[in-house]
Amino acid sequence: MAYTKKVAVRSRRDYEWAMTLLCDALTKSGDRVGSRPIRTITPRGADKLYQKIVIGPNGRRDRTAEKVVKLCRKAWRVVHRLFPDEFPKDVPNPWLGVTLENRVKKAKPAVTRDDVYDFAHGCIAAGEPEVAAVAVICFEWLQRPENVIAGYIKWSDYRAPSAPTIVRVAHHKTGTVAPHPLEETLPDGTVFKFYADAEEVLAAVPRRGVSMILREVSKGVAKPFAFPTMQHKVQRMRKKLGLPAHFTMDACRHGGMTELEEAELTDGQGRALSTHRTQQSYEGYAKRTAKRMLSATRKRHAHRLAEQNEPGDSVRNEAPETVRNGTPEQSKITS
């Protein structure tokens, strides 16, 4: 919970910094943009301000400039509704349609299932079961790291008496809850567990309170981890275990999302597990791995072979000619 508040504060500071950057920009006459009336901001002026922010004194700031445009676009719309007399009636929102510079967005890394469980077993052996559980929960049940650490994964949501075969995973960002099935009873009565490895890791985590991921402050007192503390623990264990440098909690979640695509789930099935609201946001997590490329290539090759070897093509192609042009068979029938 505490981490969620910190994120909100940090986001507010980011917006304040973006607005300060815009307002402190100087015009040709040397005065601050923030000191000028809102009526003086025109579409051309918005374009020039964007370019001024992009090409900063210390190099390009494409992402920062994008944030400024997005923030100003929304601020103009909100304030205009509240104070319409302060805005020129013949000038539309000048921040709409600002042409943004193209920039290459870096793809976030993803780790494999083997990496996640090598990390988890190493953490348990080193006396860090909570760190192990964070990695596994992010990978298997696709919960955001900040939600895991903030305490949104609870023991009361794991095999509760009312739902003994379910783990309920809350996604605070979207306000959704995903009930992941943990097992299935087969027709012969055998119980098949889908997440046996993950449950083995959870069994090593001490129950210090309602939330799964808690640190013991003193005897009988437990609190959530600070996010930087957990990050430090993850990196320390990652180095100790010799895992890739891109191993992070976020990379664990991206790895789980990538596994959904490697399993060739449909878009609807994948989003049912991840609770992403749109296809675009869901697709951003699944990496184009060699396994996905190989599977797609196999299907494409199989389709080509099926097209080449499908029987009856000649029959289907000749039938229209028979009807359209007339044939000896037709002549016999008409004679």
Q: How many CB atoms lie within 10 A of CB 27?
A: 15
State yes or no: pLDDT of 332 exceeds 70: no
Q: Which of 136, 113, 116, 132 is nearest to 124 (CA)?
A: 132
State yes or no: pLDDT of 6 exceeds 50: no
Instruction: Go through the domains of the chain in sequence order and give each one's CATH number.
Output: 2-86 (no CATH), 113-283 (1.10.443.10)
pLDDT at 65: 85
pLDDT at 88: 84
Helix, strand, coil percentages for the chain (3-state, nearest 5): 55, 10, 35
What are the strands, taking DSSP E only, across the chain? 55-56, 59-60, 158-160, 163-171, 176-181, 183-185, 191-193, 215-218, 221-223
The distance between the two most distant Cα atoms of the chain, rounded to a whole number of Å, is: 106
The confidence band for 13, taking pLDDT boundaries of 50, 70 and 90, is low
Sign of the dihedral through C-alpha 137, 139, 142, 143: positive
Q: What is the pLDDT of residues 35-83, one digit of tens each?
A: 888 888 889 989 988 888 888 777 777 888 888 888 888 888 999 889 9
pLDDT at 4: 41
Q: What is the pLDDT of residues 282-292, one digit of tens each?
A: 565 555 566 65
Does residue 132 or residue 307 have the better pLDDT?
132
Distance CA(173)–CA(186), nearest Å, equals 35
Phi-psi region of 184 (alpha: psi -120 to 50; beta: other; left: phi over 0): beta
Mean pLDDT of 116-127: 97
Using CA atoms of 328, 330, 332, 335 in order, give the dihedral in degrees to the nearest 10.
-130
Of the spans 99-108, 116-125, 256-265, 286-295, which averages the highest pLDDT? 116-125
Residue type, 195: Y
Q: What is the CA radius of gyration of the chain?
A: 29
pLDDT at 177: 87
Asked whether 257 and 138 are in contact (CB, 8 A), the reply is: no
Lowest mean pLDDT among 26-35, 127-136, 300-309: 300-309
What ranges in 83-226 are assigned the alpha helix state H?
A: 113-125, 129-140, 145-150, 196-202
The confidence band for 183, taking pLDDT boundaries of 50, 70 and 90, is very high
State yes or no: pLDDT of 128 exceeds 80: yes
Whose structure tokens read 């006459």? 29
Distance CA(50)–CA(43), nearest Å, equals 11
Mean pLDDT of 258-277: 75
Mean pLDDT of 125-150: 95
Residues in the chain: 335
Mean pLDDT of 318-322: 46
With 0-12 CB in 10 A as exposed, 13-18 as middle and 19+ as buried, what is 127? exposed
pLDDT at 287: 59
Does residue 328 or residue 214 have the better pLDDT?
214
Phi-psi region of 174 (alpha: psi -120 to 50; beta: other; left: phi over 0): alpha
Q: Which of 170, 190, 160, 173 is nearest to 281 (CA)?
A: 173
Asked whether 146 and 7 are in contact (CB, 8 A), the reply is: yes
Distance CA(115)–CA(130), nearest Å, equals 17
Distance CA(250)–CA(238), nearest Å, equals 14
Lowest mean pLDDT among 26-30, 59-63, 100-104, 299-303: 299-303
Q: What is the pLDDT of residues 203-245, one digit of tens each?
A: 999 999 999 999 999 888 999 999 999 999 999 999 999 999 9
